Amino acid sequence: TTCMVPLDLCRFDNKTKRQTTMNQILTVCKKYLYNWSYMRVIAFILGHFMSRQDCVRLCLNDYINNELIPIISQYEQNNDEEVMLKINACLQTLSYIFKFGQRENLMPYVQTLLNVLIEKQYFQSKRLTIRRLT
């Protein structure tokens, strides 16, 4: 529910904290994103969280370019299950970010993501879940 608070999350920060509220939420989400039990729920929460205007300004670029794109760039047809779990979680998160986010905020990432998906042949994947998320 914190993701849906209409106020800027920086208002909840104080000067004594080492981590901002946004970073704390991201840390918890990253911790549980690669767990089969929580993956879909956490991807949904991250989609809502990353579509907030304050998060778009402060952490969307870093999250997509430094967290998600390197993981989906690891895709090969014969990857083990742990790598496929991470790729599946990243694709679910990206799909929710693109579902809930505003077009003008996400346009800078479209070409990069499309290039990775085409280069790694996600559209011809043997795994149905990967093909559907692509």
Per-residue pLDDT of the chain (134 residues; tens, 9 = 90+): 566 667 777 766 777 667 888 888 889 999 999 998 999 999 999 999 999 888 888 888 998 888 888 888 888 877 788 888 898 999 999 999 999 999 999 999 999 999 988 888 888 888 888 888 88
Predicted pLDDT at 20: 81
The reported pLDDT for the residue numbered 41 is 94
Q: pLDDT value at position 67? A: 86
Range list of H helices, the chain: 21-33, 39-50, 53-55, 61-62, 69-72, 81-100, 103-119, 128-133
Q: Is 49 contained in some domain?
A: yes
Does 1 map to a domain?
Answer: no
| CA distance from start to end of the chain | 28
Residue 4 lies in a domain: no
How many CA atoms lie less than 13 Å away from 117 in the CB half-sphere?
18
Query: Degrees (nearest 5) of the Cα angle 133, 88, 54?
Result: 85
- The pLDDT, as a whole number, for residue 100 is 93
**pLDDT at site 42:** 94
Which pLDDT score, from 0 to 100, does residue 95 have? Answer: 93
Domain count, the chain: 1
Q: Is residue 3 included in any domain, yes or no? A: no
Asked whether residue 107 is domain-assigned, the answer is: yes
Half-sphere exposure of residue 39: CA atoms within 13 angstroms, side-chain side: 15
pLDDT at 3: 66
- Expressed as residue numbers, the domain containing 80 is 14-133
